[in-house]
A and B are shown apart, each in its own frame.
Chain A
Amino acid sequence: MIYAFLTLWIVGALLIIRESKIIRMIIYLGIFSLISSVCFYMFGAPDVAIAEAAISVFSTVFFIVCFEKHFGLAVGVSDVTPESAENRTNLKKYIPPVVFTIFLFVLFIFFIPENPANSYLKDQYLSLFSRDVGGENSVTSIYLGYRVYDTLFEALMLLVGIVSVTHLSRYCETSVKEGKPSDINRADIAVFTIRVICPVMLLFGIYLILNGHISPGGGFQGGAAIASFFVCRYMIYDIYDIPIERIIMVEKIIYVVVVLLAVLFIFIGLHSFLPLPQSVYLITMNLLIGAKVTCGLIIIFYRFIAFERR
């Protein structure tokens, strides 16, 4: 069955590459992300699958907001020159990239080393993580324990991305504070049901964060779930009263706290002095990382939404 899903994955990519109209491409991208998330799940990685499913919403939302609000109707007409009779005679301009790509593919296939995968490290991690770091989810234990450097640099990369987004987008504070009335034509049933669903999503995000060390989930996934709560909030009320400057400051402070906590617990070894259970460290780090990811995604989303309406 995994082969059927992988074939659908490849077909989706071919559709995206061959499609010439942007809004169809965005819908195909949403379907493609959902299918790739299921493939991750089939490979025995539910953590990665939850993260991909949460992030696919945000990439779709960014693309559709960018396409809709900033380009408007102008881009939709034709982004690529239409496939007409003159292009059909011009077929030979497609031949060099195809040949080049196939050449690289064959080169890659023939250039692989002939060693089987070494499973020594996997056995070590699986037998020792519960004693060294604690918890039952070995993925969370690895990215908060053995590989905490990667997590710190990932948080730094997210912070750099947010800073560059806020610098590149011009944005007027006064129009944001007023809170413009909605121009989305909404149905009452939709508003009511989304109001019912919003607290469920918030609760579910908190559940994912707090149970991150014993079940699939963790800081990243729960943070993305809580940030999608704010997407729903925008869909209902359509106001921009989020204090973005303050959220950026909060995010920087959280980053410093994350670095300090990791240094105290992992590199100095504070938990060997204190009589704390090991899961306290895991839960605290998951909460902080979840708050940081939430702040980052909220800032990027509201910057995208409020860019044009200044």
Chain B
Amino acid sequence: MYIFWIIPVFLILYIIRIIIGPSVWDRLLGMNLVATKVVIIIIAFASLYELTYLLDFAIVYEIFGFISTIFISLFLMERKKGGKK
């Protein structure tokens, strides 16, 4: 399938953005985008083999990438508030 060759190119471009991103929030945004792209690769893999139980991993991946992104951004916000005191 062509998805398997196009999505890794996007992933490499996102990772270059993560490396040169000037601030932390650029890197967090890149982390979120990488997680979404990888979910699409997982779905394509499961669709190639016609195995339904592989989709469980996609749901787990989406939810856990979301939780770590949100936790890091909440803690960054809290830090700035503590610095103002």
A/B interface sample: 24 pairs, CB < 8 A:
A11-B15, A23-B24, A27-B27, A27-B28, A30-B72, A31-B34, A34-B38, A35-B34, A46-B54, A50-B60, A53-B57, A56-B68, A57-B64, A57-B71, A60-B72, A61-B68, A73-B82, A184-B74, A185-B77, A185-B81, A186-B74, A204-B59, A216-B56, A228-B64
> Residues on B close to A: CB < 8 A?
4-5, 8, 11-12, 15, 18-19, 24, 27-28, 30-31, 34-35, 38, 41-42, 45, 53-54, 56-57, 59-61, 63-65, 67-68, 70-72, 74-79, 81-83
Interface size bracket, A side: 35 or more
CA A183 to CA B82, docked complex, whole Å:
9
Give A41-62 as 1s and 0s: 1 = Cβ < 8 Å from B's Cβ atoms.
Answer: 1100010011001101100110
Count of A-B contacts with CB under 8 A? 124
A37 within 8 A of B: yes
A4 within 8 Å of B by Cβ?
Answer: yes
Is B45 a contact of A41 with CB atoms below 8 Å?
Answer: yes
A37 to B34 alpha-carbon distance, docked (Å): 13
Most chain A CB neighbours (cut-off 10 Å) among B41, B56, B79:
B56
A8-B45 in contact given A34-B61, A38-B38 (Cβ < 8 Å): no
The complex places the Cα of A197 from the Cα of B66 at a distance, in Å, of 11
List A residues at the B interface (Cβ < 8 Å).
Answer: 1, 4-5, 8, 11-12, 15, 23-24, 26-28, 30-31, 34-35, 37-38, 41-42, 46, 49-50, 53-54, 56-57, 60-61, 64-65, 68, 72-73, 183-186, 190, 194, 197, 200-201, 204, 208, 215-217, 221, 225, 228, 231-232, 235
With a cutoff of 8 Å between Cβ atoms, the chain B residues found around residue A228 in the complex are: 63-64, 67
CA distance A220 to B79 in the complex (A): 33
Query: Does A208 lie within 8 Å of B56, measured CB to CB?
Result: yes
Complex formed: what's the CA distance from A28 to B38 in Å? 16
In the complex with contacts A50-B57, A53-B61, A60-B15 CB distance below 8 A? no
- Distance in Å from the Cβ of A113 to the closest Cβ of chain B? 33
**What CA separation (Å) do A226 and B79 show in the bound complex?**
27
